[in-house]
Structures are given as C-alpha cells and as structure tokens.
Structure 1
Amino acid sequence: MSLSLVCALVVVGVLATCFCEPINFKKCDGTPDIKSVDISPCTAQPCKFHHGMNVTVSVTFIAAKNSVGLTAEIYGILSGIPIKFRMPNPNGCQSSNITCPIKSGDQYTYSGLFNVLPTYPNIRLTVKWDLKADDNSYLFCFLFPMEIDT
C-alpha cells in the first residue's frame, strides 16, 4: 500500500471522528431498541447548532416489522409540548440510505437531514426524532438535547 493512500485513509478517519460522533440518547418509552445514533456536526452534548446549518443524523436499528413505507418526524419538545420541525424529506424511503420495503429482523441505517432555519429561536430544547412504519408504529424513536444559537 502506498504512503499517500495510507495518509489519505488516516485523514478520512480523523475527519469522520471529528464531525460525526455517537451521542448519548434516550430511547422513547415503549419503542424498539436502537443500535446507534450519530449526529453531524455534534461533538459534545447538548448538540450546538447555528442558524443555517444542515444537520445529518444516522441511526442504525433492527426493523421490528415489515413495512412498505416509512415516515420520519422531528419534534422540538418545550415544557413537555412537542412542536413539529419541518423536514426536507419526511419520506423515509427516499434519500435515507434505506430501500423500501423493509423486512422485520433486518438491520438498517437510516440517514436523515434537517436544516436549522434562521426563523428558529435561540433556544435549548430536547429533540425527538422518529421513524414510523406504514401502520404508524415506531421503528425507532429517540431523544437528545440540542441548543440553537446564531
């Protein structure tokens, strides 16, 4: 293996470690287990995001059921009240790294994106991110702390 190839692999590994970290998350009550959650860019918790940023979430899970369609949702929870965030693409079968239909017992890695819009207030909150099967049951659901500022 050439020295330049080794150097390139080391650089890619370091960048991946710096910009996408497994986070501590809380699984929503009564929902299936999650293997891992990675959020980029988030290197410490609460995840601190600025207006105009694009945030990528990667979730590895085992499908608890078969499903032809998938729907992703994001909520900001303030004083116990969930407020729905706008997603660029809530269809979990498109641009998500998952090919539908999904099969019960198989492992999948969902990739999702949301934009921190300039209209969002500077705030600290809990985020709920979920993926639902076509019967509206959870395939995964998790919570994590987030802070938005300018």
Structure 2
Amino acid sequence: MHLVALFICCVFLSLSGSIFAVEFKDCGSSKAHVMAVIISPCPSEPCILHKGHHASVIITFMASQSVSAGGTKVQAALTTGFRTIPMPDSDVCGHLTPACPVLAKQLYSYTYASVVRGETPSGQMTIKWELLDTKKDPFLCVQFEVQIV
C-alpha cells in the first residue's frame, strides 16, 4: 500500500511541472539503493534555486539493510572544497515515509523542505546529500547539480 501511495504522489507531482527528477550520482550509499532524486521547484536541469524561497528535495530509496537512522549532512562542492550547509531539523526520521525504523527491503521517501538560506554560496555547484546512521556514518549518499541565485 505504501508503494502505491508513493508512486501516485510522485506521478501527480511530476505532472504538475514544478518538479524534476534530476540526474544524480550515488557517492557511496552503503545500505540503500537510491531510485530517484526529485527537486522542487525545478522545471529543468540544472535546478535553479532562489535564496529566500522554498525548495524541497525528495530522495526515494530501497533500504538494502536495516539502519538506525540519525541525521542529515549536506555539503556544497566549491572550488575550495566541500562546505557544509547548516540543516535545521536534520533528523532523518522526521522526514521519512514510511516512518522509522528503516528496515531492509523497504521502499522509503525522504523529503526535506526549507527556505534556501541567504548565506548559501551563489552559482552552479554540486550538492552532496548524506543520510547518516546514529554513529554518523552515511548509509545513503547522492550528488546532484543545482544553481543558486
């Protein structure tokens, strides 16, 4: 039932034209198989996100192992290296459907929505988004391109 509801939700949102399943690179997901990364608003790639406006990221994945979910770590790749982007309310379980615990062979949707903060660097960049376990080790890692204006 959860799979059907998730599928219907994704189809409805994609038909609205304001979201886009973006190309992504798996950067070392050890306990999950990432199926899609969706960004809203995003009518085309690279997604253009505006400082001071709302944006959301949806990561759909199949857990390959059970995980004690912890926090989220988001970084922007700049010419000087990766810079951590502060994430208010970074607890994975608060953004997961179905709810925690993360169980092996289950389909999950992680949704994070927030305002793009003013101190976020401007320009085109690679975002590295990691979901961490309670030991702060990543169990899911994706990278995707955005442009911040």
Scaled to the shorter chain, the TM-score interval is 0.7 to 0.9
42-51 or 65-74, larger mean C-alpha shift: 65-74
Aligned to 1:3: none
15-24 or 47-56, larger mean C-alpha shift: 15-24
How far off its partner does 1:29 sit? 4.0
- What per-residue deviation string (whole Å, max 9, x for no partner) do you get for residues 88-128 of structure 1? 21100114434121112211111112431123342221111
Report the identity percentage.
25
Residue 36 of structure 1 aligns to a residue whose secondary structure is strand
How far off its partner does 1:137 sit? 3.4
Q: 1:81 to 1:138 in 2, by over 3 A?
A: same
Residue 17 of structure 2 aligns to a residue whose secondary structure is helix
Aligned to 2:109: 109
CA distance in 2, matches of 1:20, 1:90: 22
Which has the larger Rg? 1
CA distance in 1, matches of 2:141, 2:135: 15
Aligned to 1:54: 54
How far off its partner does 1:65 sit? 2.2
CA distance in 2, matches of 1:28, 1:121: 22
Q: 1:116 to 1:147 in 2, by over 3 A?
A: same
Aligned to 1:28: 27
Aligned to 2:99: 99
**How many pairs are equivalent?**
138
Structure 2 unaligned residues grouped into runs of 5+:
1-10
Q: Is the 8 A contact 1:35 1:61 kept in 2?
A: yes
Aligned to 1:19: 18
Aligned to 2:69: 69
Q: Is the 8 A contact 2:95 2:110 kept in 1?
A: no
> Residue 60 of structure 2 aligns to which amino acid in structure 1?
T
CA distance in 2, matches of 1:60, 1:141: 12
**TM-score calculated relative to the size of structure 1:** 0.79
Aligned to 1:136: 136
CA distance in 2, matches of 1:58, 1:143: 13
Residue 16 of structure 2 aligns to a residue whose secondary structure is helix
Structure 1 unaligned residues grouped into runs of 5+:
1-11
RMSD of aligned C-alpha atoms? 2.3
Structure 2 residue 89 is matched with structure 1 residue 89:
yes
